[in-house]
């Protein structure tokens, strides 16, 4: 049942979409199935052949040679005492008696009719005490019956077998104290070596192991791993974060990733701009165009003239936005409000009005930023000099944004896991500061599972071992047997 259960489990696990794991499960299932078939059919046949060998008194190693009588299979059947003596050459009972007036004794064969009467052990003890002086003169080898000595000689001459080797050589060798200590020390050394070896094993699988071999996808991933060790990642901000009010924290969050060495940086060592920086730069450009036309008199507080530039007119429409739904436009603040203040922060009250204009008019920068803003900004188009509509629709508050980064020099799992650890540390740091965030991308999707793999594997093994011990100890009522089973596995 255990083999059948393992076979079915491996076949079920073969539905895993990862080719490497699928191939392993199929091979393990076939191997377990053949092992079960061998135990059911081959093992009984081998045992039957071995019984025939023992009946024929053949050696277990050299089947062409005959074995001793000790290796024979005895067939038990009813019979008389004389039949047993004739078949197995059993000796008759021996009677010892003292010679009158001497210190010596003699041994004689007991008559057949007196064998049933020899049951008084006290008489035999007395005779033994009387004969002790003469018996002491016999050596241990002479005291042994002739039949035993002949059988031993026969076994030594022509009875070499695995059973004899185990009983006469290997067993006594293992019973020696220094051998036991050596085995225990070797066992402890193997455990220490295995523990050290586990720490030296590299975690993770290659990306090419996820797709079938000899396919276009496999060739692409193999070429990419060999020549282009390049990956992208995104730092994601989410939740009810107040972007207009906490722009500084967002800039600090992006700058924190400069400490990750595998991220591609600019020539000056800084990171490429993200969506908020591109949004700010666009507004600064419009502010500069407005200041120039304001200084030249092309734009006044109430209107603009025909010689005003298109960017200056767009800046004028942005400057009059109040961010108030009831009173969305105010021309009074044209020369009092700046699109971007001296600290580099966008005007907070009209932040989402500006966002609508940026996403609709600086389309290239918005697409390049890969911000994936959610909810998406509203659409609004500025028609130029003839468009006198000042009201710009206000976009909804953002709940999801992305900051793209590009990674290189990611040759092996160790490098990727190092980047993951550093990125996760940054996320935890800014999570404590009130910025809900996380990182995503191919390295995090595929390799992050190996971050705590060893820890969770050890926990799973410990729990499995404890549960196995408790179940066996309770069912069999034998803690020692449970400990032996657990230590064996």
pLDDT of residue 392 exceeding 80: yes
Per-residue pLDDT at 363: 92
Specify the 3-state DSSP secondary structure of 321. Answer: strand
Per-residue pLDDT at 286: 94
Range with lowest mean pLDDT among 27-31, 351-355, 415-419: 415-419
What's the rounded Cα separation, in Å, for the pair 201 and 457?
Answer: 14
The predicted model gives 225-235 an average pLDDT of 81
What's the rounded Cα separation, in Å, for the pair 295 and 299?
Answer: 8
pLDDT tens figures, 400-458: 999 999 988 877 778 888 899 999 999 999 999 999 999 998 888 888 877 888 888 88
On the 0-12 / 13-18 / 19+ scale of CB atoms within 10 A, 403 is: buried
Which residues, in sequence order, are bridge partners of residue 340? 346
Q: What string of DSSP letters covers 396-420?
A: PPP-EEEEEEEEE---SHHHHHHHH
Of 306, 405, 318, 325, the residue nearest 353 (C-alpha): 318
Phi, psi angle pair for 406, to nearest 5°: -125, 130
Q: Which helix (H) or strand (E) holds 441?
A: strand 437-441
Per-residue pLDDT at 73: 47
pTM of the predicted model as reported, rounded to 2 decimal places: 0.61
What's the rounded Cα separation, in Å, for the pair 402 and 221?
Answer: 26
pLDDT of residue 97 exceeding 70: no
User: Which carries the bigger pLDDT value, residue 123 or residue 145?
Assistant: 145
Per-residue pLDDT at 123: 41
Q: Give residue 124's pLDDT band: very low, low, confident or very high (50, 70, 90).
A: very low
Q: Give residue 130's pLDDT band: very low, low, confident or very high (50, 70, 90).
A: very low
Neighbours of 364 (CB within 10 A): 8
Q: Where are the alpha helices (DSSP H) in 235-350?
A: 247-255, 275-296, 310-319
* Pair of tokens at residue 452: 């705590």
pLDDT of residue 104 exceeding 90: no
Burial 367-401 (b: 16+ CB within 10 A, else e): eebebebeeebbebebeeeeeeeeebebbeebeeb
pLDDT tens figures, 44-86: 898 888 888 878 877 776 667 666 555 444 454 444 445 544 5
Of 394, 310, 311, the residue nearest 356 (C-alpha): 394
């Amino acid at each position: 049942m255990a083999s059948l259960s393992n076979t079915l489990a491996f076949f079920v696990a073969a539905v895993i979409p990862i080719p490497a794991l699928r191939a392993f499960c199929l091979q393990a299932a076939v191997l377990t199935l053949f092992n079960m078939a061998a135990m059911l059919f081959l093992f009984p046949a081998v045992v039957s052949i071995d019984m025939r060998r023992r009946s024929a008194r053949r050696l277990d190693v050299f089947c062409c040679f005959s074995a001793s009588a000790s290796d024979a299979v005895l067939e038990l059947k009813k019979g008389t005492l004389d039949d047993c003596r004739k078949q197995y050459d059993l000796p008759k009972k021996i009677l010892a008696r003292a010679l009158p007036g001497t210190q010596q004794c003699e041994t004689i064969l007991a008559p057949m009719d007196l064998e049933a009467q020899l049951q008084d052990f006290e008489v035999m003890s007395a005779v033994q005490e009387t004969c002790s002086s003469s018996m002491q003169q016999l050596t241990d080898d002479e005291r042994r019956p002739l039949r035993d000595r002949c059988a031993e000689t026969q076994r030594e001459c022509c009875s070499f077998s695995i059973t004899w080797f185990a009983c006469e050589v290997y067993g006594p060798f293992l019973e020696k104290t220094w051998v036991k200590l050596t085995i225990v020390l070797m066992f402890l050394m193997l455990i220490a070596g295995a523990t050290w070896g586990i720490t030296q094993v590299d975690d993770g699988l290659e990306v090419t192991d996820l797709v079938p071999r000899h396919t276009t996808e496999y060739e692409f991933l193999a070429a990419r791993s060999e020549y282009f060790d390049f990956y992208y990642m995104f730092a994601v901000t989410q939740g009810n974060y107040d972007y207009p009010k906490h722009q500084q924290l967002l800039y600090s969050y992006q700058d924190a990733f400069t400490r990750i060495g595998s991220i591609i940086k600019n020539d000056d060592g800084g990171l490429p701009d993200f969506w908020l920086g591109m949004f700010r730069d666009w507004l600064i450009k419009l502010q500069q165009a407005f200041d120039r036309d304001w200084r030249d008199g092309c734009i006044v507080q109430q209107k603009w003239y025909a010689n005003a530039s298109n960017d200056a007119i767009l800046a004028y429409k942005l400057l009059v936005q109040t961010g108030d739904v009831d009173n969305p436009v105010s021309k009074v603040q044209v020369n009092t409000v700046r699109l971007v203040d001296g600290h580099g922060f966008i005007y907070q009250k009209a932040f989402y009005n500006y966002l609508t204009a940026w996403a609709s008019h600086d389309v290239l920068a918005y697409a390049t930023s890969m911000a994936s803003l959610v909810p998406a900004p509203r659409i609004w188009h500025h028609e130029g000099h003839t468009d006198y509509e000042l009201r710009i629709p206000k976009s909804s508050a953002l709940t999801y944004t992305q900051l793209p980064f590009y990674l290189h020099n990611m040759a092996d799992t160790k490098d990727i896991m190092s980047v993951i650890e550093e990125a996760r540390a940054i996320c935890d740091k800014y999570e404590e500061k009130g910025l809900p965030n996380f990182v995503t991308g191919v390295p995090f999707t595929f390799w992050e599972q190996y971050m705590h793999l060893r820890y969770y594997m050890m926990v799973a093994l410990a729990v499995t071992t404890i549960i196995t011990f408790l179940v066996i100890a309770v069912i069999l009522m034998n803690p020692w047997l449970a400990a032996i089973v657990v230590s064996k596995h």
